[in-house]
């Protein structure tokens, strides 16, 4: 396996500067579906990260109990609520997003599983699938065939194992992940240290990031960032590459100030601007 390293050179091939005549209506609308009682923070983090990564509009779809939490913590994000108080049971919306991220904090209630199945059957919008949405897929593997080609999935090692089964070596992990990517035509963001992106036989290895990212919610933030880039019309593979690179870069930039221990997922969001600036510096 000869990975393509995701470094500044590689990023400059796909990075799209902002057009000075753009406006929020054409800068992309991202929909983030997530959260459940006790995990509304995951929806807050992913939707705020989406806005801070540059899309024009962000809507969060959450259970009712998260309404005030989300509106107060991030007033720039619009909110749609499910009929249920504590978990998502019926995904419906009247907006037209260019990308949807689903899964952070969503839980695995039976009703959430059923509405996720319906959602997969009907949606045509480019998707990022993470966290509990991946765990639901692991329990219902026949639903994987509903995923459109180039859907992005973002498993951490345990979520990957639930999807593809155990491996005995790093080589076998890559073999199985590449086979899975080919079988379902998926872009797989294999989160870790470092993170790899698998797109069929193409393997990319990220060069940014450090152990400060080993903190609750850092994956939820990544989901928002990649969904935002998809909504801004990046090709799925480029949204994954740029998202993973910027996400890691925030931790490299923040480290001298925060150290490893005190860095939290909100620090990723706070440093997205500096990460963007360093691409063009």
Ligand X SMILES: NC(=O)C1=CN([C@@H]2O[C@H](COP(=O)(O)OP(=O)(O)OC[C@H]3O[C@@H](n4cnc5c(N)ncnc54)[C@H](OP(=O)(O)O)[C@@H]3O)[C@@H](O)[C@H]2O)[C@@H](O)CC1
Ligand Y SMILES: Nc1ncnc2c1ncn2[C@@H]1O[C@H](COP(=O)(O)OP(=O)(O)O)[C@@H](O)[C@H]1O
Identity of the residue, 31 or 131, whose beta carbon is nearer to ligand X in the bound complex = 131
Q: Is 42 annotated as a binding residue?
A: yes
Do the Cβ atoms of 45 and 221 come closer than 8 Å? yes
Residue window 103-142: x/- pattern of binding to ligand X, with contact defined by CB under 6 A? -xxx------------------------xx----------
3-state SS of the chain? CCCEEECHHHHHHHCCCCCCCCCCCCCCEEEEECCCCCCHHHHHHHHHHHHHCCCCEEEEEECHHHHHHHHHHCCCCEEEECCCCCCCCCCCCCCCCCEEEECCCCCCCHHHHHHHHHHHHHCCCCEEECHHHHHHHHHCHHHHHHCCCCCEECCCHHHHHHHHCCCCCHHHHHHHHHHHHHHHCCEEEECCCCCEEEECCEEEEECCCCHHHCCCCHHHHHHHHHHHHHHCCCCHHHHHHHHHHHHHHHHHHHHHHHCCCCCCHHHHHHCHHHHHHHHHC
Residue window 221-240: x/- pattern of binding to Mg ion, with contact defined by CB under 5 A? --------------------
214 binds ligand Y (CB under 6 A): yes
Q: How many residues bind ligand Y (CB under 6 A)?
A: 17
Identity of the residue, 27 or 208, whose beta carbon is nearer to ligand Y in the bound complex = 208
Q: Residues near 66 by Cβ (< 8 Å), separated by ≥ 6?
A: 35, 40, 43, 60, 79, 81
Q: Which of residues 107-136 bind ligand Y (CB under 6 A)?
A: 131
Identity of the residue, 144 or 264, whose beta carbon is nearer to ligand Y in the bound complex = 264
**Interface with Mg ion (CB under 5 A), residue from 103, 155, 194, 219:** 219
Q: Which of residues 30-89 bind Mg ion (CB under 5 A)?
A: none
Q: Which of residues 135-194 bind ligand X (CB under 6 A)?
A: 156-159, 192
Residue window 187-226: x/- pattern of binding to ligand X, with contact defined by CB under 6 A? -----x-----------------------xx-xx------
Q: How far is the CB of 38 from ligand X (least distance, A)?
A: 7
Q: How far is the CB of 253 from ligand X (least distance, A)?
A: 21
Residue 213 touches which member of ligand Y, ligand X, Mg ion, none, C-beta under 5-8 Å by kind: ligand Y
Which positions lie near ligand X, rule CB under 6 A?
Answer: 39, 41-42, 104-106, 131-132, 156-159, 192, 216-217, 219-220
Binding residues for (6S)-NADPHX: 42, 105, 156, 220
């Amino acid at each position: 396996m000869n990975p393509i390293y995701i470094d500044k050179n590689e990023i400059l091939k796909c990075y799209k500067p902002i057009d000075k005549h753009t406006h929020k209506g054409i800068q992309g609308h991202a929909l983030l579906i997530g959260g459940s009682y006790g995990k509304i923070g995951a929806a807050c983090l992913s939707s705020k990260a989406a806005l801070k990564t540059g899309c024009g509009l962000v809507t969060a779809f959450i259970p009712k109990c998260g309404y005030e939490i989300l509106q107060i913590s991030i007033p720039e994000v619009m909110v749609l609520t499910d009929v249920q108080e504590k978990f998502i049971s019926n995904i419906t919306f009247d907006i037209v997003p260019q990308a949807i991220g689903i899964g952070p904090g969503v839980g695995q209630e039976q009703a959430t599983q059923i509405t996720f199945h319906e959602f997969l059957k009907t949606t045509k919008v480019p998707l990022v699938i993470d966290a509990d949405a991946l765990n639901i897929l692991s329990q219902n593997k026949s639903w994987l065939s509903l995923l459109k080609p180039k859907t992005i999935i973002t498993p951490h090692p345990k979520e990957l194992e639930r999807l593809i089964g155990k491996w005995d070596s790093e080589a076998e992990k890559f073999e199985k992940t590449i086979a899975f990517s080919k079988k379902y035509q998926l872009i797989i963001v294999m989160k870790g240290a470092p993170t790899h992106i698998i797109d069929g036989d193409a393997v990319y290895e990220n060069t940014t990031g450090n152990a400060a990212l080993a903190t609750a919610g850092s994956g939820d933030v990544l989901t928002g960032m990649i969904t935002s880039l998809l909504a801004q019309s990046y090709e799925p593979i480029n949204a994954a590459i740029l998202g993973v690179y910027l996400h890691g870069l925030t931790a490299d930039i923040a480290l001298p100030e925060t150290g490893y221990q005190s860095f939290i997922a909100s620090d990723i969001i706070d440093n997205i601007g500096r990460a963007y600036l360093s691409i063009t510096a």
